[in-house]
Structure 1
Amino acid sequence: MPAISTVAELLATGAADSPAIRAPERPPLSFGGLRALAERTIASLNGIGIGRGDRVAIVLPNGPEMAASFVAIACAATTAPLNPAYKAEEFEFYLLDLKAKALVVQQGMDTPARAVAQQLGVPVLELVPGAAAGEFTLTGGTAGTASRPGAAGSDDVALVLHTSGTTARPKIVPLTHTNVTASAGNIARTLRLGAADACLNVMPLFHIHGLIAATLASLAGGGAVICTPGFNALRFFALLDAERPSWYTAVPTMHQTILARAERNAEIIARAPLRFIRSSSASLPAQAMKDLSAVFSAPVIESYGMTEASHQMCSNPLPPGAQKPGIVGLPAGPEVAIMDDDGTILPQGEIGEVVIRGPNVTLGYEANPEANAKAFTNGWFRTGDQGMFDADGYLMLTGRLKELIKRGGEQVSPLEVDGVLSEHPAVAQALTFGIPHAMLGEEVGAAIVLREGMAVTERELRDHAAQHLADFKVPRKVVFLDEIPKGATGKLMRIGLAEKLGIKA
């Protein structure tokens, strides 16, 4: 069978009458229906002058139309999904930065993106949902001729996303059809996805995790993605019961929220068994991995991804392979190595920067030669993460280079401290962060969310940490919060947390 290198080719592998896009209380859209939708979308966009390489910004609520529009529009043009929660100024920045040729919004949906696009002269296309989950038509635009019509090719850009820069201007990451289909195939093989599988998607579909791992990988395996309005802890178990997925993928904060409600939903868990649970986009505390596996009687597959890799780089294997708590797994697609500052590849057991190369890796940031010069060394992409391979070839991350806490000449891995704090029985969530310090540069702080009905003092937590960590790694300040601040995709926000919380050393 020839290698799949475009989204259209990926869609062609599913059985015509098998469900591809599902949603609660709606009939499913079959693979045959999704392929027909993609063909109609190509014709519709070409008819208003939009073709391959032209950028179409998509601002839609999470759900089946967002998933289907990403897939169908990618067959014709370049998709640019944006967070619907953005304010007008943010939409203005992204629409201008992307040089968007059109904006897709849902008919009747109130969003500042519509007015911003009109001010900028960007055509607004209204998406009108159909009866089946994800079925839609596009209205609007002016008749025109596309400079590059027809179905997109392997070297065409399928998806552009901005990196979530914490201080610097966000960088544009272009991902080709080769990139995204390679990654979707890698994930489908890692998880042994097939036509009988259905993923309950709770991830936002303006982020690489939901777009590739939940949506495109499910379709690559010939299975379905069940599209929800997004993560809602109060609805999760009802959806599990009603939809009967075989798996779901989420970020650690979501898994921890699900765990907190699992006991009262034990009957649903028993009658709606999962084949496995997947975690990615941030490190899953080892205790949470053990608890999830025990509660759901299913393997928990932690994986390691980033936007520039079209998501997946490493993954723990399914049984009979070993799932190692606190470790992100074996290389699962691209080549993965450890590099020192000078560009030398280091042997197993040595700590350095994680680097990757392979067909799923972006060819480079757009119009940013300075960033590309820093990001690529001898053909390897530098992830910015620090780690090492264990004796079994599993990758262990020791921290994000930018997030390492530099305390008086010592470097503290916040992930290591998170892991120790998370093992305390009263701790539901822990996030270690740097606090600016006049003498030491930075001091170690920790934000803690307690388990319901449990209590622990700052002193007791520091004593617990001191039993497992060198003195310089023990948090000097511990703050107790009802909720740790998160970014738009559910990731805990480590950088800048001290400032956000008004904490000084």
Structure 2
Amino acid sequence: MLNLSSLLEHSAQEYPERTALVLGDTRLTYAELLSRSQDIADALRGLGVGKGDKVALSCPNVPDFPAAYFGILRAGAVVVPLNVLLRPQEVAYHLTDSRAKALLCFEGTPQLPLAETGKAGFDQAPDCEHFLLLHRIEHTSSGSAEPAETVATEAEDTAVILYTSGTTGRPKGAELTHRNMAMNAMVADRLFTAGQDEVMLASLPLFHAFGQSAVMNMGLLRGATLVLQPRFDAEEALRLMHREGVTFFAGVPTMYWALLGALGALDEQAPPAHLRTAVSGGAALPVEVLRQFGKVFGVGVQEGYGLSETSPVACFNPPGLPPRPGSIGRPVWGVQMKLIDDSWQAVPGEGPGEIAIRGHNIMKGYYRRPEDTATVVRDGWFRTGDIARRDADGYYYIVDRVKDLIIRGGFNVYPREIEEVLITHPAVSMAAVVGVPHATHGEDVKAFVIPAPGAQLSEEELIAWCRERMAAYKYPRSVEFRDSLPLTSTGKILKRELTAEAGGGAGPA
């Protein structure tokens, strides 16, 4: 028997009165967090949710997220975390594709009306049976009561389905097992030395693989205090670091860039005194940002690499050694990496080649998509779609991406998904979407559009239309209208040429 909820259960037994979560003036101990997760598990059981059922979770970084996450697991169900920026039709797609039996939803705010959005998506997914607002789940458990027995699950049972995407552009659910997730939290934990006073700032979205494994799960495993930040703001993050004595921060490169810029705006311009560990992932960290952060904050940034399909941590700059600028490090414990060509054959020497990964962190597969799974997994090896080289010491360096994936501010944006929405506009005949360089987000989204004959449409009108139908990180920030698009001899759009014309250089074919 192995259930990922044991991460919280063990720490609640070992450190019941230690502070687990901080949000403003709210402080929950490990015993209180465990009790709240029991309430949610009991509520789900009362609705007939049981082992193997899928339960979607739409919630920002507030105490309800870990409570619901571990409550779902305690009930023996599978967590399907949803990006809180999804629009109703996108919520409906995820509920339908995952065959979710229930949707647990945070009430939200006027700026982020999750209950309204979630209910609208739920109404478009007729097979999803239950919609629950987290704040309405009655608190019945007592911290001193004997905990309800956790449903027994096996190591290879699915614990979490994280939605990603690939060549089709349609989001696919990566099935991650209890073993995948528990081992990844343990591996992340052993990467860093920590004292009993570890305080971790949770600015990364907990619905994202990085924030989930390398912050929430790892932090609760080690009995740390998690300081929750519902939405990243650099000045507020620095205030929290000062006020709460934060010792650990994990973020994507744009967060580090923003922290550097925000430091001078604070009344207290000194860097946080307690910070001792800084971790970067999600996208390549610019070397200059790494250097500046180390100089200003006095803390070296340790860079790593992973994907949703790898739970996600796969590679990391070893702690205790100076980080190698531009490198994602070496494979973590229990994980192997190699470079391969298009035929899955190993590439010798430094490469370049496509990264392939094998180990305890590799997903079970894409949910209900065996053909897509077979495309990327062979003999236990997962091919990532990322091109890299490696040095003589086994450190890897990302060179480029095989696919047309755009990474905007640490979020994956999939061009075809946007294109399929664009061409539903009556004034759009054809569209191609590419990534273009952006000073702070790494990349931004640009659309090349062929208008329908006789149609009148402005760039501002089309962007506004997209904004209503897509999550905030997806919609195009610029649109260029054209009479034609460059094509191959077989009629495929040459996105490499569009990327080069837009200032992004020659991308992969």
Q: TM-score, normalised by structure 2?
A: 0.73
Is the CA contact (8 Å cut-off) linking 2:57 and 2:82 kept in structure 1?
A: yes
Relative to structure 1, the CA distance from residue 346 to residue 138 in structure 2 (aligned partners, 3 Å threshold; closer, same or farther) is: farther
Would you say 1:337 and 2:342 are equivalent positions?
no
Deviations, residues 40-77 of structure 1 (Å, cap 9, x unaligned): 43333222100121111111233221232222222221
Q: Which residue of 1 aligns with 2:94?
A: 94
Q: Which residue of 2 aligns with 1:78?
A: 78
CA distance in 2 between counterparts of 1:487 and 1:397 reads 27
Q: Which residue of 1 aligns with 2:41?
A: 42
Task: Tell me the amino acid that sits aligned with residue 256 of structure 1.
Answer: W
Would you say 1:59 and 2:50 are equivalent positions?
no
CA distance in 1 between counterparts of 2:344 and 2:156 reads 28
Aligned to 2:56, the other structure's residue is in SS state strand
Deviation of residue 489 (structure 1)? 7.1
Would you say 1:447 and 2:437 are equivalent positions?
yes
Q: Which residue of 2 aligns with 1:33?
A: 32
Deviations, residues 307-331 of structure 1 (Å, cap 9, x unaligned): 0001111111222x12011100111
Q: Which residue of 2 aligns with 1:114?
A: 119
Gaps of 5+ in 2: 141-148, 408-414, 416-431, 441-466, 479-493
Relative to structure 1, the CA distance from residue 113 to residue 395 in structure 2 (aligned partners, 3 Å threshold; closer, same or farther) is: same
Q: Which residue of 2 aligns with 1:350?
A: 351
Relative to structure 1, the CA distance from residue 487 to residue 348 in structure 2 (aligned partners, 3 Å threshold; closer, same or farther) is: farther
Deviations, residues 362-412 of structure 1 (Å, cap 9, x unaligned): 0211222221221012321111111122122211111111259xxxxxxxx
CA distance in 1 between counterparts of 2:186 and 2:66 reads 17
Relative to structure 1, the CA distance from residue 79 to residue 488 in structure 2 (aligned partners, 3 Å threshold; closer, same or farther) is: farther
Q: TM-score, normalised by structure 1?
A: 0.74
2:3 to 3, 6, 28: 6
Deviation of residue 446 (structure 1)? 6.0
CA distance in 2 between counterparts of 1:104 and 1:394 reads 41
Is the CA contact (8 Å cut-off) linking 2:219 and 2:225 kept in structure 1?
A: yes
Give 1:381-400 correspondences, 5 Å limit. Answer: 381-400=382-401
Is the CA contact (8 Å cut-off) linking 2:263 and 2:271 kept in structure 1?
A: no
CA distance in 2 between counterparts of 1:207 and 1:501 reads 31
Relative to structure 1, the CA distance from residue 37 to residue 155 in structure 2 (aligned partners, 3 Å threshold; closer, same or farther) is: farther
Identity %: 31
Aligned to 1:128, the other structure's residue is in SS state helix
CA distance in 2 between counterparts of 1:114 and 1:274 reads 40
Task: Tell me the amino acid that sits aligned with residue 372 of structure 2.
Answer: A
CA distance in 1 between counterparts of 2:472 and 2:233 reads 14
Task: Tell me the amino acid that sits aligned with residue 129 of structure 2.
Answer: V
Deviations, residues 273-328 of structure 1 (Å, cap 9, x unaligned): 31111100100011111111111101211110110001111111222x12011100
Deviations, residues 88-141 of structure 1 (Å, cap 9, x unaligned): 211221111111111112347642221332452531112128xxxxxx7479xx
Aligned to 1:10, the other structure's residue is in SS state helix
Aligned to 2:10, the other structure's residue is in SS state coil
Q: Which residue of 1 aligns with 2:131?
A: 124
Q: Which residue of 2 aligns with 1:324?
A: 324
Give 1:417-456 correspondences, 5 Å limit. Answer: 447-449=437-439
Gaps of 5+ in 1: 130-135, 140-147, 405-413, 416-432, 434-441, 451-484
Relative to structure 1, the CA distance from residue 137 to residue 367 in structure 2 (aligned partners, 3 Å threshold; closer, same or farther) is: same
Would you say 1:161 and 2:158 are equivalent positions?
no
Deviations, residues 456-477 of structure 1 (Å, cap 9, x unaligned): xxxxxxxxxxxxxxxxxxxxxx
CA RMSD of aligned residues (A): 3.6
CA distance in 1 between counterparts of 2:475 and 2:294 reads 21
Aligned to 1:13, the other structure's residue is in SS state helix
Deviations, residues 211-263 of structure 1 (Å, cap 9, x unaligned): 11110011122212211112112322222222221111111111111111223
Task: Tell me the amino acid that sits aligned with residue 439 of structure 2.
Answer: V
Aligned to 1:200, the other structure's residue is in SS state strand
